Structure 1
Amino acid sequence: MQHIATDADLDFSSLLDSLDYPAILLSPEYRILASNKRYVDSFGDVPQGDYCYRVSHGYDRPCDQAGESCPLQACTRSGQRERVLHIHNTPRGREHIDVEMLPLTDRHGKLRYFIEVLKPVKSASAEISSSQMVGRSAAFNTMLELINLVAPHETSVLLLGESGAGKELAAQAIHGTSRRADSAMVTVECAGLTETLFESELFGHVKGAFTGAVSNKPGLLESARGGTLFLDEIGDVPLGMQVKLLRLLETGSYRAVGSTQPKLADFRLVSATNKDLPGMIARGEFREDLYYRINAFPIHLPPLRERREDIALLSRSILKKLSPNGGYRLTDSAVKRLQQREFPGNIRELRNLLERATIFAHSSIIDVPVLERCFSQEVDTATHRSMPSEGRDGPWLDLKNQERYYLKKLLEHCKGDKDRAAEIAGISLRSLYRRLEG
């Protein structure tokens, strides 16, 4: 807590202008008493004496009375600096702002003023965007706050969420606001890689290491040097490879396949999964020690059904990306219809649905009838897939190929979730792998 002398002794303008970010001075009654030049440049001039909640949010009452957290109230209660992520009105539209509130007391310990420091969050947008994460909902803001907190650190992050929830965009947001942003973020798609292929892709190999290794090949760890390594669907890393991955994380060194020469790695690790890793540990399918290595800072990505209020903004952003000059627009009733959906495929499913809608729409307007046609096509496709192959795809397949066909279609239905597919098929995960490869 910072102590102040008397009003006469304190130059508020000099105090605020010494800060590296936009800042304002507040009274305990929420009134803005002063602002620095960075604030004026970023948010515009504000009449002294106006209320912070009215200027920042357009509210007629303090944030905590309008359903949001209020950093000034939190600061008053704790007597310590407080931090919260808010959405503020700005000349550029609504923006995510990382708000830090600092209490100032006099020499007798009486709380006299607050300094509010406002740091714009560049990793997400509260308006239409075709390149950033988009959202305004409470669930989205909770996730974004965690991303904003951990991004400047070197801590390993584990992104947890259903398929299609935006884990790669979240990884890009962490990388883009980290100290490693000027270097590459390298993505490793763990699903479907055998142990040998995974090791060769990650560590690289030397000439002659195996049949077909006709030259030295650097691995993805080399490409990620100084940057971020994103292991997407880490739950699919082969069990035998998990030992080598753990050794890499513990020692910071590795060897290319076929080489005896150790190399030092330099990367920040971000992992993602839609799997139940503790359940996999209990079944002996994932190493517990590796789990605790990658799970230093877990972040849950909410499914789309938990952030329905974001669907309108997400849809506008997706349509803008699908057709930058097309000007497609959803009617209000179409938005409400989308908000009634469960979206098991999350944002990826929403994108596919809207892309289909742009094809069916006779104009730039996407209304409920267009959406219903998109929905009915899904039903027709599901019915088509359930039909026997005789008379549609030609002669009957033999039993082994028919089984493999069934399992592949089941895996598609489960959005790649092999645990769920194995459960529905009534077989073990190991049997699922064996029958798909057989």
Structure 2
Amino acid sequence: MHPDTRPLPELLSFLDTLPEPHILCDRDYRIIAANAAYRAGFATGRSVIGRTCYEVSHRYNLPCDQAGESCPLAKSLKSGQRERVLHLHHTPRGEEYVNIELSPIRDASGEIAWFIEKMEPMSVARGLSDHTGLVGRAPAFQHMLGLIARAAPSNASILLQGESGTGKELVANAIHAASQRAGHPFVAVDCSGLPETLFESELFGHERGAFTGATGRKPGLVEAASGGTLFLDEIGDIPLGMQVKLLRLLETGTYRRVGSTELRRADIRLISATHRPLKQMIAQGSFRQDLYYRINTFPITVPPLRERASDIPLLVESLLARVAAGRRLRVTPAALAVLVQYSYPGNVRELRNLLERASLMCDGEEIDIEHLDAELRTCSALADSSDTDGQRQRSADSAPRWDDIERRSFLQVVQAHRGSRKALAEKLGISERTLYRKLRQYQQT
């Protein structure tokens, strides 16, 4: 691009007519213009014009791809195409997940000269401790969020796969909240708790006298979810005889109440979840292959907590606010180091239970090692090193900030690690490039 190239006034005027937050950048990452929606939602007191997008959004001093992140502008320069990415942005409200859609704009000679960047905040997830919604920053978590951002606006059937305790219902609720059906019901069904004799009646409803004990007409869960989302948790537990009835609902969009001949139309978006290996079940004949393809239009894997070790400090702070509401409980760095080291076979559910028990064992304002389960204490070599260190820092009058918690727990894990940096990065759930950046950042503070 020539130094004297300037965007057409029409392009700048068009930018300000767009209702969503947009900025216009040049090839050097500099922001040339920002529309009113961006200024209202993202800008602080200081003007963003003339500053680089990576400095404004991430507070980096170099482009995102050189700081261990995915950069849509750099990717678009190579591909010449529109690019999408999910990023954590600094906003006046703190760090928020933002879905970025970047489109290249060419000049009269056909060369890429500028980029229009559209920003859609994901209100269902946070990169900081939050009392509601999804919380996390780890690469596996961000990958899942990127899939949620793509799937939520559609009506496609989604299959959530993940171990028990990973929070699949919370993810399903987040998808619903980010969809066009958010103003309508979200109805969750635990399929493992429905016997075959009641499954059809619960799902589709029944008429009076349809069976013994049916003393009145009852709408089913499909009807209760009308206009919204039906979430079938543990769909792998649905009896084989009932799977065909669910398949018919998905294929035709219609159903009948038990005891009725009237065909009713369903207006639902289906999200299913399971921890079972459905493909193996198909091979064994216990799950229908045709139903699998119907529910698996868009699969999303919910990562286990061991793949999100760097998120544990965030989750600890967030979960404590829920399980010990009304108390200003904190976790000491030594106790946090023990929590970070543990493998969590029960995932986030187990972490929540451990924190709830610890809060009941704690009479003061700080959860320390002695308040944790014996299993955790014996599993962690970090606990011993932290105790003999004598360097535990406590604060009696304020809850620890995320930056302090992350820095302390990160450095404790680094000091205790015996192995390669690649293995350390995998243990923390981050890339090697991000590990190097964090090492430089935290060793300077």
Partner SS for 2:78: helix
Aligned to 1:324: 325
Aligned to 2:122: 121
- In 1: Cα distance, 2:168 partner to 2:154 partner: 19
Shift of 1:138: 0.8
Moved over 6 A (4+): none
- In 1: Cα distance, 2:6 partner to 2:28 partner: 17
The amino acid of 1:195's aligned partner reads E
- In 2: Cα distance, 1:141 partner to 1:47 partner: 26
- In 2: Cα distance, 1:57 partner to 1:6 partner: 27
Aligned to 1:35: 34
Once the two structures are superposed, the pairs formed by residues 196-211 of structure 1 within 5 Å of their partners are 196-211=197-212
Q: From the superposition, tell whether residues 376 and 77 of structure 1 become closer, same or farther in structure 2 (CA, over 3 Å).
A: closer
Q: From the superposition, tell whether residues 256 and 375 of structure 1 become closer, same or farther in structure 2 (CA, over 3 Å).
A: same
Unaligned 5+ residue runs, structure 1?
A: 379-438
Once the two structures are superposed, the pairs formed by residues 304-383 of structure 1 within 5 Å of their partners are 304-373=305-374, 375=376
Shift of 1:362: 2.9
Partner SS for 2:18: coil
Once the two structures are superposed, the pairs formed by residues 156-235 of structure 1 within 5 Å of their partners are 156-235=157-236
Query: Does residue 1:96 correspond to 2:97, yes or no?
Result: yes
TM-score (norm 1): 0.82
- In 1: Cα distance, 2:338 partner to 2:317 partner: 15
- In 1: Cα distance, 2:373 partner to 2:233 partner: 34
- In 2: Cα distance, 1:37 partner to 1:252 partner: 42
The amino acid of 1:100's aligned partner reads E
Cα deviation 1:169-226 (Å, max 9, x = unaligned)? 1111111111111110111110032212111100111111111111111111110111
Cα deviation 1:19-71 (Å, max 9, x = unaligned)? 22212221111112221222121122434222211111111111101111000
- In 1: Cα distance, 2:376 partner to 2:107 partner: 64
- In 1: Cα distance, 2:137 partner to 2:372 partner: 24
- In 2: Cα distance, 1:292 partner to 1:353 partner: 38
The amino acid of 1:32's aligned partner reads I
Once the two structures are superposed, the pairs formed by residues 230-309 of structure 1 within 5 Å of their partners are 230-309=231-310
- In 2: Cα distance, 1:329 partner to 1:110 partner: 55
Shift of 1:325: 2.5
- In 2: Cα distance, 1:370 partner to 1:323 partner: 14
Unaligned 5+ residue runs, structure 2?
A: 380-445
Out of 347-356 and 214-223, give the one that drifted further: 214-223
Query: Does residue 1:134 correspond to 2:118, yes or no?
Result: no
User: Is the CA contact (8 Å cut-off) linking 1:167 and 1:301 kept in structure 2?
Assistant: yes
Aligned to 1:424: none
User: Is the CA contact (8 Å cut-off) linking 1:13 and 1:34 kept in structure 2?
Assistant: yes
User: Is the CA contact (8 Å cut-off) linking 2:206 and 2:220 kept in structure 1?
Assistant: yes
- In 2: Cα distance, 1:131 partner to 1:183 partner: 19
- In 1: Cα distance, 2:301 partner to 2:12 partner: 41
User: Is the CA contact (8 Å cut-off) linking 2:86 and 2:99 kept in structure 1?
Assistant: yes
- In 2: Cα distance, 1:53 partner to 1:7 partner: 21
Out of 365-374 and 164-173, give the one that drifted further: 365-374
Q: From the superposition, tell whether residues 257 and 70 of structure 1 become closer, same or farther in structure 2 (CA, over 3 Å).
A: same
- In 1: Cα distance, 2:112 partner to 2:183 partner: 42
Shift of 1:333: 2.2
- In 2: Cα distance, 1:167 partner to 1:106 partner: 46
- In 1: Cα distance, 2:378 partner to 2:340 partner: 19
Cα deviation 1:234-255 (Å, max 9, x = unaligned)? 0000110001111111111111
Shift of 1:84: 0.2
- In 2: Cα distance, 1:109 partner to 1:76 partner: 13
User: Is the CA contact (8 Å cut-off) linking 1:158 and 1:297 kept in structure 2?
Assistant: yes
Aligned to 1:16: 15
- In 1: Cα distance, 2:114 partner to 2:377 partner: 60
User: Is the CA contact (8 Å cut-off) linking 1:185 and 1:224 kept in structure 2?
Assistant: yes
Partner SS for 2:100: strand
Shift of 1:8: 6.9
Aligned to 1:75: 76
Partner SS for 1:163: coil
User: Is the CA contact (8 Å cut-off) linking 1:239 and 1:285 kept in structure 2?
Assistant: yes
The amino acid of 1:25's aligned partner reads L
Shift of 1:101: 1.0
User: Is the CA contact (8 Å cut-off) linking 2:324 and 2:356 kept in structure 1?
Assistant: no
- In 2: Cα distance, 1:21 partner to 1:342 partner: 42
The amino acid of 1:284's aligned partner reads G
Query: Does residue 1:7 correspond to 2:6, yes or no?
Result: yes
TM-score (norm 2): 0.81
The amino acid of 1:305's aligned partner reads R
Partner SS for 1:7: coil
The amino acid of 1:20's aligned partner reads P
Shift of 1:324: 3.1
Shift of 1:13: 3.7
Identity of aligned residues (%): 54
User: Is the CA contact (8 Å cut-off) linking 1:32 and 1:48 kept in structure 2?
Assistant: yes
Aligned to 1:25: 24
- In 2: Cα distance, 1:377 partner to 1:190 partner: 37
- In 2: Cα distance, 1:8 partner to 1:316 partner: 46
User: Is the CA contact (8 Å cut-off) linking 1:101 and 1:115 kept in structure 2?
Assistant: yes
User: Is the CA contact (8 Å cut-off) linking 1:203 and 1:256 kept in structure 2?
Assistant: yes
The amino acid of 1:24's aligned partner reads I
The amino acid of 1:60's aligned partner reads N
The amino acid of 1:286's aligned partner reads F
The amino acid of 2:73's aligned partner reads L
Shift of 1:372: 4.1
Q: From the superposition, tell whether residues 47 and 9 of structure 1 become closer, same or farther in structure 2 (CA, over 3 Å).
A: closer
- In 2: Cα distance, 1:370 partner to 1:72 partner: 48
Q: From the superposition, tell whether residues 226 and 337 of structure 1 become closer, same or farther in structure 2 (CA, over 3 Å).
A: same
Shift of 1:369: 2.2
- In 2: Cα distance, 1:242 partner to 1:12 partner: 54
Shift of 1:284: 0.7
Q: From the superposition, tell whether residues 94 and 110 of structure 1 become closer, same or farther in structure 2 (CA, over 3 Å).
A: same
Pair member with larger Rg: 1
The Cα RMSD (Å) is 1.8
The amino acid of 1:68's aligned partner reads E
